[in-house]
Every structure is written in structure tokens, then in C-alpha cells.
Structure 1
Amino acid sequence: MSKATRPSPNTPPRQPDVVRAEKLQAGYAGKAVCGVVSFSVHAGQSMALVGPNGAGKSTVVKTVVGQLEAVSGTAQVNGAEVDDRTLDFRRDVAVVFDDDAFFPALTVEEHLAIVAAGHGVEDVEEVIASELEFFGLTGQAKSRPYNLSSGQRRRMLLAAAFVRPRSLLVLDEPEQRLDTSMRHRLAGRLRAEVDAGLALLVVTHDPDFLSTVATKALFIADEVHSMTPKQAAVAIASENPHAD
């Protein structure tokens, strides 16, 4: 009779998955736009999704967070089927996609205050001031979003994700419309938060950004396969040799 295998006392315990996709097909009207996707990300990991333009990367992440219905397969966040209507999901997951979603009548500062207060943040004014400073928006705090440049609006949306608690952060090409300095600062901050326990899912076309942020990568196309961050950065650079 064989004995059950016991883990070595030097083996670290397996981390629970923050986000997990199982045989997931993402698409529209029941038609998949890319291959079958299976992956997991736990606390302290960051998964970068890379691939050609139009391959379905954004569709995959929107499906993972419940903004689109899956063609087939499943997605879970913190062990529960994805349902972006639930309090637990909205408490745990912060997302920034490549669209300008804002209230025209509210200032930048008011947007951040609503998000922070709505998620039970203490010292709201102090937290907002810190994010405005980090994202270079202190001078625009009283401005309305439609008076900002596209890059400033992008920074406002990113600030709204950082101003609140989250166990999973999902970003769709966060480097877009940011200058080189801000890209580097954002990448460094994201990696520091991942190292501190954040789970991150990010779509990116920037090899330098990916190299800093990602702990693993997934190539999205007709066939989906895992990559190391180094392999993914090379793949991105080969698709866009003029990337800065």
C-alpha cells in the first residue's frame, strides 16, 4: 500500500488563484475571436497578454472580468464565478480599459473622491492628493475631463484605479497616451505593487513596459501559448521595431 506523498517542509504553500480562466473562448455573438485561453494569476503575479493587433487580447480580458459573455469555458476571481454585479467583485477588481468613461459635470478631483469614498478609503483627501501628484494632475484637479488632453484623461482613469483598494488590477494598454517618463514611473509602481502582493492582468504593446511589469505572459492569436516575459518582449519588439 503506497503512502500519500507529503510536501517537503521547505516547499512553500501553493498560492490561491486570484483570477483563473479555464478553457475560455472569448468573442462576440457566439463566435470566438482567438484560441482557447487557460491561465491563472495569484497574488504577487502579473500576467501580460500580448499578440498582434486585433488578435483578441482586449476581448479576452473583458470576458475575464465579466464585461463580455464567454463563448465557452469559465473565468473565476477569488474562487467565484465572475459576476461584475456583486459587491465582492466590485470591491476586489479595478479595471481600466482604453475608453474615456467619465461624468462631464465632475472635476478630476471629484471623480477620484467618488471612487475613493465609494470603496471605503480613509483619509480620502490625502490619498487623492498623492495620486494627483503621482500622475502629474495636481494642476488639473479642478478641471473637468473634457478640458484635459487625451493623455491627462488617461492618467485620471489610471488614478481612479489606484485611489481604491483592489486585489486584482486589470489594465488594457495602460501605456497608451503616456509620455516616456510616465510610462517608466507607472511600470515601476505596478511592479512594486505586484511584488507586494497585487495580482495584475495587463494588455501591452510596449516591450520595455512588459519587461518591468510582467512575471509571465500569454500570446493571444489563433493558437494561444504561454511565454516568459523575455520571450514576450521580443515578440512585441519584432511586431513593432519602432516602438519607443
Structure 2
Amino acid sequence: MDTELLRLTGVRHGYGDRPVLEDVSLTLRAGDAVAVLGANGAGKSTLLRIAAGREEPDSGTVTLRGRPADEDDAAFRTDVACALGPGAHYPDLTVREHLLLVALAHRVPEAETRVAEALGEHRLADHAEQFPAALSAGLGQLLSLAATRVRPHTLLILDEPEAHLDAEARAALAARLAATAAGGGAVLLATHDPTLGERSGARPLELVDGRLRAAE
């Protein structure tokens, strides 16, 4: 598996006079998983938003399969699934309806079956008829992760996906990330939990002073 999926080259970004990313370059190929570590405010979330095509860098390039990363591009949306922080859930839809809408929007075959599987895998079956506002923080996080499960993707981009999850849910998440890479996909995540990266087989990188380096 040597197919290049995601490439960031010379990415620089800042807010006002505060630089956040300095000459960041990163390549993910099919089968790769990378865990980005770093202190709060180091720029991990900014890096992931740029990789996901949700924010443009001040300079540098971001490509997916050799094409500019653009969240509005249909091919990009088919390839990339993201969970970037607190979920933007549809407040008037139940958990089941939310997942079904995501699956149908991406024209997933047998959408109801896929949703049922995701509900079971993410321990949401007993909460399927609840609305997002009624969910705990942990269940809300599981809903965000389940939404990435019901849509097609080759590249999975997750920002602190372990937040609010118990040990059992973290172990299941690590297994899913490992399976994604083993199946020919790729994973890019930011995390404060090095163990999650280790269990998923992700290569650890640390973001320090706006630059990526091998984690110590």
C-alpha cells in the first residue's frame, strides 16, 4: 500500500501576529496512522482543520490524492470523514435520525443497516431515540464518532476523539483506528492520550513551536 492520500507541504498559519504553524510538512499514505501530540494551544486543532480543508493556510499547500483539499469538493467529501471537536449535531433529530441523515446524504447503500451497526458499535442503541441535548458528553462524543462510521471515507481526521470516553470506549476506538489503517485507509488524529496512539499503531508526532517533530 503506497498510495499517497494526504500531503501538507510548507504549511504556515497564524492568527494576527501570533504564528501557530511554521513550515509544517506531512504525508499520509494508505495504511498510515499519525497521532499528533502537543500542549493545549500548540496548534493541533488548527493543523487538523487545515488538513480537513476547513481552513486555508496562510501559505503552503494541502492536497488529497494530488488535488487541492477542498471540503466543498464532492470527491473530497467522499474520501474524508472528520470529527473535529464538540459535535455540531442536529438538535431536532434523534440520534438514529441524525446518523440516517448523514448516511443518506452520502448515498450509502443499505443506510438503515449501516446506522444500526454504528449504533451498536458505539453503545448508542439504547439512546437511539434521544435528542443530542439529552446525551452526556461521552455519548455526544460517541455520536460524533458514529457519524464518521456511517459515511464513506478513506481518510479519518479526528481531534481529541478520546475526550469524555471511558476505558472501554477508548479501547474500541483504538481498535477501529487500527482497522482503518490496516484496511488501506489512513488516520490523522490529535490527542492528549499517547496510549490511544500506541494502541492504534499510530506514529507519534509532537507539535512544538509550530513545527512537527518525532515525539520523545
Instruction: State the TM bucket, normalised to the shorter chain.
Output: over 0.9
Structure 1 match to 2:6: 19
Structure 2 match to 1:43: 30
Q: List gaps (5 residues or longer) in structure 1.
A: 1-13, 236-244
Tell me the distance in 1 between the aligned counterparts of 2:95 and 2:130. Answer: 6
Aligned equivalent of 2:190, options 193, 200, 203: 203
Aligned equivalent of 1:217, options 183, 188, 204: 204
RMSD of aligned Cα (Å):
1.5
Aligned equivalent of 1:141, options 120, 124, 128: 128
- Judged with a 3 Å threshold, the aligned counterparts in structure 2 of structure 1 residues 28 and 66 are, in CA distance, closer, same or farther, namely farther
Tell me the distance in 1 between the aligned counterparts of 2:2 and 2:187. Answer: 15
Structure 2 match to 1:104: 91
Structure 2 SS opposite 1:226: strand
Greater relative contact order (CA < 8 Å, ≥ 6 in sequence):
2
Structure 2 SS opposite 1:37: strand
- Judged with a 3 Å threshold, the aligned counterparts in structure 2 of structure 1 residues 68 and 30 are, in CA distance, closer, same or farther, namely farther
Tell me the distance in 1 between the aligned counterparts of 2:124 and 2:143. Answer: 8
- Judged with a 3 Å threshold, the aligned counterparts in structure 2 of structure 1 residues 151 and 176 are, in CA distance, closer, same or farther, namely same
Count of residues in Structure 1 that have an aligned counterpart in Structure 2: 216
Structure with higher Rg: it is: 1
The question of 1:150 aligning with 2:119 is answered no
Render the CA deviation track for 1:96-115: whole Å, top value 9, x for unaligned. Answer: 01122011110000110011
Structure 2 match to 1:183: 170
Tell me the distance in 2 between the aligned counterparts of 1:97 and 1:63. Answer: 11
Deviation at 1:28, TM superposition (A): 2.5
Render the CA deviation track for 1:113-167: whole Å, top value 9, x for unaligned. Answer: 0111111211111111111011111011011000111111110010000111101
Tell me the distance in 1 between the aligned counterparts of 2:55 and 2:176. Answer: 29
> Of Structure 1 and Structure 2, which has the larger fraction of its residues in strand?
2
Q: Do the aligned residues in 1 keep the contact of 2:43 with 2:210 (CA within 8 Å)?
A: no
Tell me the distance in 2 between the aligned counterparts of 1:109 and 1:30. Answer: 44
Render the CA deviation track for 1:73-112: whole Å, top value 9, x for unaligned. Answer: 1111111011111111111110001122011110000110
Q: Do the aligned residues in 1 keep the contact of 2:11 with 2:21 (CA within 8 Å)?
A: no
Structure 2 SS opposite 1:128: helix
Tell me the distance in 2 between the aligned counterparts of 1:32 and 1:94. Answer: 27
Render the CA deviation track for 1:185-208: whole Å, top value 9, x for unaligned. Answer: 110121012111111110011121
The question of 1:122 aligning with 2:112 is answered no
Q: Partner letter of residue 45 of structure 1?
A: D
Tell me the distance in 2 between the aligned counterparts of 1:160 and 1:126. Answer: 14
Q: Do the aligned residues in 2 keep the contact of 1:19 with 1:40 (CA within 8 Å)?
A: yes
What TM-score comes out, normalization by structure 1 length? 0.84
Structure 2 match to 1:69: 56
Tell me the distance in 2 between the aligned counterparts of 1:30 and 1:163. Answer: 40
- Identity fraction in percent: 38
Q: List structure 1 runs of 4+ shifted beyond 4 angstroms.
A: none
| Bigger mean CA offset, 151-160 vs 45-54 | 45-54
Q: List gaps (5 residues or longer) in structure 2.
A: none
What TM-score comes out, normalization by structure 2 length? 0.95
